[in-house]
Amino acid sequence: MLPIQMLYRGTRLNPEGEALVDGSVRMTYRELLARVEAIASFLQERLPEPQARIGVCGHNNWQHVVMMLGVFASGHIWVPLNPRNSKAELAGIVDAADLALIAADEDFFPLFAETDRPLILMSGDVGADIDVAGICETYRGRRQADIEHLVDHIAAIKFTGGTTGNPKGVLQPYRAFMSCIASMFATFGFDQDERMLAVAPLTHGAGTFLLPVLGVGGSIIVLDGAKAPQISEVILSEGITASFMPPTLIYSLVDHALATGVRYDRFKHLIYGAAPMPATRIRQAQEIFGPHIAAIYGQTEAPTMIAAITARELAEGVNIESVGRPCPFNDVQIMAPDRTIMPPGELGEVVVRGDLVMRGYLNRPDLTEQTIVDGWLHTGDLGMFDERGYLYLKDRLRDVIISGGFNVYPADVEAVLSTHPDVMNVAVIARPDDYWGQRVEAAVVLSEGCSTTPEDLVQFAKAELGSVRAPKAIHALPNMPVNAVGKVTRLNVLSAVEALEKGEGSASSLH
């Protein structure tokens, strides 16, 4: 079965129901399907050989959704392009993927000014010869050719690691999308009353929730580039019941709610992923949104649903530091360096196999062979299972800090510092040290107006962790830096700390 069949299923279940909302634009399932089929028909006519690679770069808007689904319906390959990436990074992806054409919003056209690939306008009035709205009208009423014979082929190529100058193209087959969709059905039980807010970028996690919600006849509400007050307003006015957000976005909504007194009582699923969330922040979010916080664990190579924890499970305090149990269609284990499977309670690398796993890396058989060994995808994450089958992540293998001969897991240090009532956000980094080899340091964002100092936090950490694992330096930042997809990374934090030390930032440090 192909993922686009979810849209057809939703149309049969709820043909006149509201499928897609973008501000004043409100589409029924019939209208959404008509536009998707028009785009698919155009793409098949323009690119008659299947599996052409089509780049899509846009805001969260109806045109982006229609274009993405149209690519799926055409039998071509969706290549999401993140507009927050640099022009050079995008140029590298365009060349590596050998894109046949690019669809972009008007304000992102300059990112592709030097490319020779045909451009399709999604939104804007740049006066392009071809635009999504025009295609939808010109090809209205046409039905694309059947693509069922492509069921074993590639649905998307998603690039990861582009900031190194050598992006890796992850080949995601149709089977991976269907495994992800099936796991979402089994885990979250979406239904026709679902109103899913897509506020995180469609190019990443939010995009994976479109077809699972459309497959049950629910509604997708897209919102782009909004801050907490506007997001809050849409949540209330649209009766939002579900959303996927990175932790940083949830933090901003929680802070807004604490300042205004607003509460969100219609939520059934506020799902976070892409980064861990400290227990103190989870409890805070549960106070604002009710016991409806859930979490997912995945990566580009095994998208979104390696493991998940439902809101009901997360509301039980004993599970608050877990990412849940493996999703129903995955085999997930903890593996030692010698490739033996570890028992519960033992720390090792998280490995996964099943339909969710990527086909491999584009044009990188060497890297594919290193990452998928004997059918197991090596995630690079350190973790362990408890006796009940709940998975706990420690860190990325490469993020482990070896200080004075001891292994220090940044996540452990972050978990302790995050319990301090004045620490709103924290990230632990490693710095080179002549004596320790590597020394543990931390960056924190403190609550506004608090009197806590970095010295206070160093002593707090030493009392809980001992002197080896406690940070040797703590840096107070005005906000935690994020990368192009809104995720806090240790590299970004290290850069911010170095800038602070050079006098190029604000706040304070203690060494």
Alpha-helical segments (H) within 372-409: none
Please tell me the predicted confidence (pLDDT) of residue 164. 38
In this predicted structure, the answer to whether residue 444 has a pLDDT above a threshold of 60 is yes
509 within 8 A of 475, measured Cβ to Cβ = yes
Over residues 427-452, the mean pLDDT reads 88
Cβ-Cβ contacts under 8 Å for 65 (sequence gap 6 or more): 20, 22, 202, 210, 220, 222
Domain termination residue (choose one: 156, 173, 190): 173
Task: Identify the bridge partners of residue 157 per DSSP, sorted by sequence position.
Answer: 171
330, with CB counted inside 10 A (0-12, 13-18, 19+), is: buried
Please tell me the predicted confidence (pLDDT) of residue 162. 39
Tokens of 296: 């997912």
Q: How far apart are CA 504 and CA 250, in angstroms?
A: 28
Closest Cα to residue 150, out of 69, 76, 247, 40?
76
The terminus-to-terminus CA distance of the chain in angstroms comes to 58
Q: What is the pLDDT of residues 40-64, one digit of tens each?
A: 999 999 999 999 999 999 999 999 9
DSSP letters, 203-217, are TTGGGGGHHHHHTTT
pLDDT category at 433 given cuts 50, 70, 90 is: confident
Percentage of the residues of the chain whose pLDDT score is greater than 70: 96
CA 168 to the chain's CA centroid: 17
Domain termination residue (choose one: 134, 149, 173): 173
Average pLDDT over all residues of the chain: 92
SS (H, E, C) 447-501: CCCCCCCHHHHHHHHHHHHCCCCCCCEEEECCCCCCCCCCCCCHHHHHHHHHHHH
CATH number at residue 13: 3.40.50.980
Domain termination residue (choose one: 144, 173, 202): 173
Q: How far apart are CA 201 and CA 185, in angstroms?
A: 22
Closest Cα to residue 351, out of 323, 321, 374, 318?
374
Q: Is 6 among the domain residues?
A: yes
Over residues 23-49, the mean pLDDT reads 98
Please tell me the predicted confidence (pLDDT) of residue 395. 79
301 within 8 A of 274, measured Cβ to Cβ = no
Phi, psi of 417 (to 5 degrees): -60, -35
Q: Is 391 among the domain residues?
A: no
In this predicted structure, the answer to whether residue 165 has a pLDDT above a threshold of 50 is no
Residue range(s) defining the domain that contains residue 57: 1-173
Q: Is 113 among the domain residues?
A: yes
Q: Which residues of 361-376 are buried (b: 16+ CB within 10 A; e: fewer)?
A: bbebeeebeebbeeeb
Please tell me the predicted confidence (pLDDT) of residue 482. 80
Q: Is 309 among the domain residues?
A: no
Q: Number of structural domains, the chain?
A: 2
Please tell me the predicted confidence (pLDDT) of residue 484. 66
In this predicted structure, the answer to whether residue 15 has a pLDDT above a threshold of 80 is yes
Please tell me the predicted confidence (pLDDT) of residue 510. 53
Q: Is 66 among the domain residues?
A: yes
CA 367 to the chain's CA centroid: 23
In this predicted structure, the answer to whether residue 397 has a pLDDT above a threshold of 80 is no
Q: Is 118 among the domain residues?
A: yes
Tokens of 25: 């634009």
In this predicted structure, the answer to whether residue 5 has a pLDDT above a threshold of 70 is yes
pLDDT category at 78 given cuts 50, 70, 90 is: very high
Please tell me the predicted confidence (pLDDT) of residue 166. 64
Q: What is the pLDDT of residues 193-219, one digit of tens each?
A: 999 999 999 998 899 999 999 999 999
Helix (H) or strand (E) holding 37: helix 29-46
Q: What is the pLDDT of residues 458-472, one digit of tens each?
A: 999 998 888 878 999
Q: Is 22 among the domain residues?
A: yes
Q: How far apart are CA 332 and CA 400, in angstroms?
A: 22
CATH number at residue 435: 3.30.300.30
Residue 467 vs residue 328, higher pLDDT = 328
Helix (H) or strand (E) holding 297: strand 293-299
Cα→Cα distances 144→39, 92, 147, 203, Å: 9, 31, 9, 24
Cβ-Cβ contacts under 8 Å for 46 (sequence gap 6 or more): 101
CA angle (469, 473, 474) in 5-degree steps: 105
Q: Is 247 among the domain residues?
A: no
Please tell me the predicted confidence (pLDDT) of residue 338. 94
Report the C-alpha dihedral over residues 477, 482, 487, 490, rounded to 10 degrees: -60
Over residues 388-406, the mean pLDDT reads 84
Least confident range of 227-241, 279-293, 405-419:
405-419
Q: What is the pLDDT of residues 224-267, one digit of tens each?
A: 988 999 999 999 999 999 999 988 899 899 999 999 999 898 99
- The greatest distance separating any two alpha carbons of the chain, rounded to the nearest whole angstrom, comes to 72
Most confident of 97-106, 441-450, 477-486, 494-503: 97-106
490, with CB counted inside 10 A (0-12, 13-18, 19+), is: middle
In this predicted structure, the answer to whether residue 506 has a pLDDT above a threshold of 70 is no
Rg for the chain, CA atoms, rounded: 23
